[in-house]
Amino acid sequence: MARIGPALVRGAAACLLALPLLAPQARAAGPSAAPVPSGAPGSLQVLHWWTSDSERQAINVVVNQLARQDIQWRDISIPGGAGMGAGKVLKSMVLAGRAPEVTQLNGVIFGEWADLGLLLELDNVAVQGNWEKQMFPAVWSLLNNRGHVVAAPLGIHRVNTLFYNVAIFKRYGLTPPRTWEEFDKIVQLLRGTGIVPLAQSAEAWQIATLFENLALAESGPAYYRRLFVDMSPSAYLDARMLHILKRLRSLAGAMAQPVRERPWTEVARSMVNGEAAMFIMGDWAKGEFNAWGLTVDQQFGCAPVPGTGDYHLYSTDTLAMFADNYSHQAMQETLAQITMSAAVQSDYNKIKGSIPVLRAQDPHMDRCARDSWRAFSKGASYQAPSLVHRMATDETTKDAIVAEVQRFFIDRQITEEQTQKRLAAIARTLSRNRND
Ligand code: GAL
């Protein structure tokens, strides 16, 4: 698992340690997971970006379980897909000495906060709940920082999902494209029908979603990891990257012009209401379609993104707890226990569109979830950690790549070769392996 470079940690640490209100190195485990005394009033502030209909409904499963333990969930919700805004708010709150008690904090970024001693270690809860045995190894290793469990997992999203409008596909006799050549044929077939082949937003993270999908389709998880986990400059200078960028640019021809910046929920809506035929997005979009009363294989279908059928481009949702002065520890541990209960895993993920983090297959999953579970179960060589959703590398590197890709997509004056060189330069500057 990639970690941020020591220099970056030291820089951030120096900055954080200067703040009087923080308690750095407050990471030594406190007393073990004690149940909250019943009737004890208490609440937890939770920062997150689950603001759409299905996201709200899914998180209410956890909120309600927490309430049964007399713990109130106090919301700090920051709208903005993929947590682009929430990540920044979280950073400012921590720097101001006002870290929330709990945060949706996806991916390797745990390492950044945990290394600074800011996160509560959940080792006792993990041992008592037998987490290591129960969950997928990839998730277990993600939650671990230097031998300590520093977050509680909710579910696993599949980011390489292609959604399609069933009525449109039926009307034109289409089947879900398994390759990009098949995709191109559909685009041609829909020409002149008034239907937009591919729904898309110009938001940086949504363009980068296409980019990471194309990277996976191009040459599988090994090359993908060289790009986004190892940050290998030579991988960026490879002819395959040129091909990925050309493909990304050519996809513009399948989209309504100009491509506008729209929240993912709006883009999702344009696919199910028949304006567009297809939509590439994480399977939280499935949760949203369900919340709108639509059913898989009736109004919308799901398939792997072309060229990625064997693979799983994943993003896990997790909650991390800030240690502060340990006054919330018992409640935080209760929340961690709740997230891993089999019933909560099943109910939450069914609404959210994701799959449980548990190795045992949940019998209540729909077809898309079963496909996702099968692909993820095949193990590490079939899994690719999402760059956009912070599974692959640290926040700074991720933001730099995402911004570069958006610039390339929007400004047609920038050539593929220029972008390739700029991405390689980012990798050279920020990667841990400077000799590559
Ligand atoms: C992801 C997150 C999902 C979903 C999505 C859209 O980062 O893992 O739970 O909320 O963003 O905002």
Query: Please, which residues have CB within 8 angstroms of residue 206's CB and are 6 or more apart in sequence?
Result: 81, 200, 264, 267, 281
Distance from C-alpha of 289 to C-alpha of 356, rounded to nearest angstrom: 19
Give residues (CB < 6 A) around ligand 1.
Answer: 49-50, 55, 81-83, 106, 157, 282, 284, 315, 317, 389
Q: Is residue 208 part of a domain?
A: yes
pLDDT in tens, 168-205: 999 999 999 999 999 999 999 999 999 999 999 999 99
Q: Is residue 342 part of a domain?
A: yes
pTM above 0.85, yes or no: yes
Q: Which of 20-29, 60-69, 89-98, 272-281 has the lowest mean pLDDT?
A: 20-29
Q: Is residue 364 part of a domain?
A: no
Can you name the residues that pair with 73 across neighbouring β-strands? 44
Single out the residue of 130, 169, 137 nearest to residue 156, CA to CA.
137
Place of tokens 């409904």: 57
- 206, 266, 284: residue to mutate for ligand 1 pocket, most atoms within 8 A of CB: 284
- Clarify whether residues 36 and 148 are in a common domain: yes
Domain of residue 275, residue span: 161-313+383-435
- Clarify whether residues 195 and 270 are in a common domain: yes
Instruction: Answer whether residue 16 shows pLDDT above 70.
Output: no
- Clarify whether residues 31 and 68 are in a common domain: yes
Instruction: Answer whether residue 20 shows pLDDT above 50.
Output: no
| Of 34 and 229, the one with more pLDDT | 229
Q: Is residue 10 part of a domain?
A: yes
- Clarify whether residues 191 and 326 are in a common domain: no
Instruction: Answer whether residue 5 shows pLDDT above 50.
Output: no
pLDDT band at 15 (very low <50, low <70, confident <90, very high): very low
- 46, 48, 49, 156: residue to mutate for ligand 1 pocket, most atoms within 8 A of CB: 49
- Return the pLDDT at 432: 59
User: What's the CATH number where 260 sits?
Assistant: 3.40.190.10
Q: Could you tell me how far CA 162 lies from the centroid of its own chain? A: 16
- Clarify whether residues 41 and 125 are in a common domain: yes
Query: Please, which residues have CB within 8 angstroms of residue 175's CB and are 6 or more apart in sequence?
Result: 169
Distance from C-alpha of 144 to C-alpha of 122, rounded to nearest angstrom: 10
- Return the pLDDT at 41: 63
- Clarify whether residues 270 and 341 are in a common domain: no
- Residue 185 alpha carbon to ligand 1 centre in Å: 31
What's the rounded mean pLDDT across residues 408-421?
A: 98
Number of domains forming the structure of the chain: 2
Q: Is residue 89 part of a domain?
A: yes
Q: Is residue 360 part of a domain?
A: no
- Clarify whether residues 196 and 112 are in a common domain: no
